[in-house]
Amino acid sequence: MSRRFIISLSVLGVLLILSLFAANFGYVKLQDLQTLDAEAVRIAKAYPQAYQMPTSRLAQVLVREGHTVLLVDAREPEEYAVSHLPGAELAHTLGEVQSLVEAHAANEVVVYDTVGHRASELVLKLRGEVPVPVSSLRGGIVAWANEGRPIVTAEDQPASKVHQFEAKWGRLLNEDLREPLPEEEEEAESTAP
């Protein structure tokens, strides 16, 4: 065999190994973002100390007689304005949540965001700092809205859209619930007749 042939085979082998390695990791990451359940599992693994309350459980707890649940929306004000869970309060810090727990005489705190990352981070900060159980809503407002559960606007009127935060999270929302991102609105305007 010629030296050139052996070098070509070696280079091809290395490229094949690198492409398989890259494809495997890229595929896993893409696959993980294809479903909300897969993302919720990733969040639960990333924040094992933050209890992830299922949406069905929250729906039951909210109607329990004599039980006051403080719903904390950990998203940004512009996300909250588009839609939020009925009765939710916008809060980002330990101090804000502590004040809300006292003001509402809450028995429990449930924090949510788009899919669960920011909420889980806040839950970890709250653990042991507020006198009531604290959990994160599994799948966030995306899971809640996808299941057809009620969401409201800043004026407490029924909402039909959810702020995506980022396009990758918007892909996890039912298509009819997606509030267009600013760049999507600009693109639509530039292509309009």
Contacts 24+ apart (CB under 8 A), 57-64: 58/110, 58/137, 58/144, 59/149, 61/108, 61/110
Q: Quick one: average pLDDT of 56-61? A: 96
Q: What is the mean pLDDT of residues 179-190?
A: 59
**Segment 35-52 mean pLDDT:** 95
Question: Which sign does the torsion angle of CA 109, 110, 114, 117 carry?
Answer: positive
Q: What is the pLDDT of residue 192?
A: 45
Residue 159 confidence (pLDDT) = 96
Residue 172 burial by Cβ neighbours in a 10 Å radius (0-12, 13-18, 19+): buried
Q: For 79-111, give the DSSP string.
A: HHHH-B-TT-EE--SHHHHHHHHHHHT-SEEEE
Confidence class of residue 25 from pLDDT cuts 50, 70 and 90? very low
Q: Is residue 91 predicted with pLDDT exceeding 80?
A: yes
Domains of the chain: 36-180 (3.40.250.10)
- The rounded Cα 91 to chain-centroid distance in angstroms is 16
Q: Cβ distance 173 to 142 under 8 Å?
A: yes
Residues sharing a CB contact under 8 Å with residue 156, sequence separation 6 or more, in sequence order: 86
Direct distance between the N- and C-terminal alpha carbons of the chain, in angstroms, rounded to an integer: 64
- Predicted confidence band at 167 (pLDDT cuts at 50, 70, 90)? confident
**Each residue's pLDDT tens digit, 141-154:** 999 999 999 999 99
Going through the chain in order, the beta strands assigned E by DSSP cover 52-53, 69-73, 89-90, 108-112, 134-137, 162-163, 178-179
Read off the tokens for 183.
């760049």
- Residue 100, pLDDT > 90, answer yes
What percent of the chain stands above pLDDT 70? Answer: 77
Whether 101 contacts 109, CB under 8 Å: yes
**pTM higher than 0.75 for the full model?**
yes
Across the chain, what does the average pLDDT equal? 84
- Say how far apart CA 145 and CA 139 lie, in whole Å: 10
User: How do strand 178-179 and strand 162-163 relate by DSSP bridges?
Assistant: parallel
